[in-house]
Amino acid sequence: MGSSIPRQEFFFYKSKWSAEVDSVMLSFIVHAKNVAQWSGTVIPIPILEEAVAAIHAATRLSFTWRELYERFQFFEQRHHAFQLVVHTRGVFWNVNNNTMSASPSIWEDILKRSKLAGAYYYFGEPEFSRLTMLFDCKEIKKEKNSDVVVISDSTVPFVGPAAPPPRWSEPTYPIGEASESVSSPIVGNFATTRRKLFAEEYINLDNESTNSTAPILYVPDRDGASRPKSATSARPQPRAIAFNPAASPHGSSCGSTSPNNWWRNNRK
């Protein structure tokens, strides 16, 4: 079957058309579409007239804008035929070397659907990138909407039940004027709540405190009789040291700096 299908050039290039002319024409049209931002697949006539001048300047070949328009329509047919081939199950496109491979039965089914698809029996589309930018535009689906929603920037005062203040707070009054925003209810300026640290009056139960009198305890005597005794602290009290004028005021000093020498106070 492969021998009966002609090469790609047989389908694409006839008369004055060549790969060089196609490249110049597509490059100019893609650039003009990006600059002018015209949408759809219908090319404006002024763009075709400028493309005629660009092709003549690059190849010295003369075309009319009608010939370029027919070529533009042929580009669209090539794009759809190649999309049919690559989206058929069982067809493999090697992007690196731009070759196509599929079984003979698959090609028979493809050729029945499009004769131009035979141009891609050996190789893929040489202008795939630029044809995709021109003809693979996604149309925006327009739906009829009968519901009209009017959004206004005007606001109305919010009228609703005021939030009751907490039962532990003091009575307060709202400050400022009412807000005109829909989501801004009037909120009072509540005072800061004061709480006690303890539920009842604190009593110092420290028996070692010197602020209160120590309790009286009754302890047994040797004779078996009980006698009153004042409870004292169990902590050891510091030992009182008698004042010695000859002693050094610094406990860690080996010598005394006192003007009273020790031999003068030797009799004490």
List the chain domain ranges.
Answer: 7-135
pLDDT at 206: 55
Residue 224 Ramachandran class (φ > 0 left, ψ -120 to 50 alpha, else beta): left
Residue 104 scores a pLDDT above 50: yes
Residue 128 scores a pLDDT above 70: yes
Largest Cα span, the chain: 147
State the average pLDDT for the chain. 76
pLDDT at 256: 52
Confidence of residue 222 (pLDDT cuts 50, 70, 90): confident
Structure token pair of residue 87: 């989206």
**Model confidence pTM above 0.85:** no
Query: CA-CA distance, 67 to 45, in Å (whole number)?
Result: 12
Burial (CB < 10 A; 0-12, 13-18, 19+), residue 82, is: buried
pLDDT at 63: 96
Q: Over the range 9-27, which residues count as b (16 or more CB within 10 Å of their CB) and which as e? A: eebbeeeebeeebbebbbe
- When pLDDT is averaged across residues 185-213 and rounded to a whole number, the result is 57
Residue 160 scores a pLDDT above 70: no
pLDDT digits (tens, 9 = 90+) for 16-70: 999 999 999 999 999 999 888 877 778 889 999 999 999 999 999 999 999 999 9
pLDDT at 139: 47
Confidence of residue 140 (pLDDT cuts 50, 70, 90): very low
Residue 98 scores a pLDDT above 80: yes
Q: How many helices (H) and strands (E) does the chain have?
A: 6, 4
pLDDT at 141: 45
C-alpha distances out from residue 8 to 113, 158, 161, 261, Å? 18, 75, 81, 129
Query: CA-CA distance, 40 to 42, in Å (whole number)?
Result: 6
Most confidently modeled range among 39-43, 89-93, 156-160: 89-93
pLDDT digits (tens, 9 = 90+) for 9-21: 999 999 999 999 9
pLDDT at 161: 62
**218 compared with 107, residue with greater pLDDT:** 107
90 sits in which H/E element: none
Sequence-distant (≥ 6) Cβ neighbours of residue 235 within 8 angstroms: 208
